[in-house]
Amino acid sequence: MKRNQRLTRSEDINRVRKEGTSYAHPSIVLGFLPNKLVHNRTAVIAGRSVGGAVQRNLAKRRIRSAFQGLTAEMNQGYDLVLIARKPILELQYKLLVGSLRSLLDRAGLMKDDVS
């Protein structure tokens, strides 16, 4: 993720979590809120319930990797917070991408296919 596409300030992350809309999956929680920018900003969080530092970092890397492949298909102008849950460590990568895509689709963040 490029620097200008990261959501880094804790005030911004807390605002998205409190004021935004969220959708949950057993392995990931998606929170989002419209911003006034022409691009999306994203934060990836893994709490201690996921595991130790190694497991948390692995979970965040997996989410970032799966999310990176979906950014071209997304609508722009949102702040997103992706929160890892413990089952993400055992989830196959293909299923992780599918669950992330379904969350984004349920939230209405994916571009409509007009073919």
List the chain domain ranges: 3-99
CA 64 → CA 18, 19, 42, 52, 82, distances in Å?
Answer: 22, 23, 9, 18, 9
What is the reported pLDDT for 26? 93
Strands 21-24 and 28-34: antiparallel
The CATH class that applies to domain 3-99 reads alpha beta
Q: What is the model's pTM?
A: 0.89
Instruction: Check whether 115 has a pLDDT greater than 60.
Output: no
Identify the H or E element spanning 81: strand 78-84
Maximum C-alpha span of the chain: 45
Average pLDDT over residues 73-83: 93
**What is the structure's pLDDT at 113?**
52
Cα(83)–Cα(94) distance, integer angstroms: 18
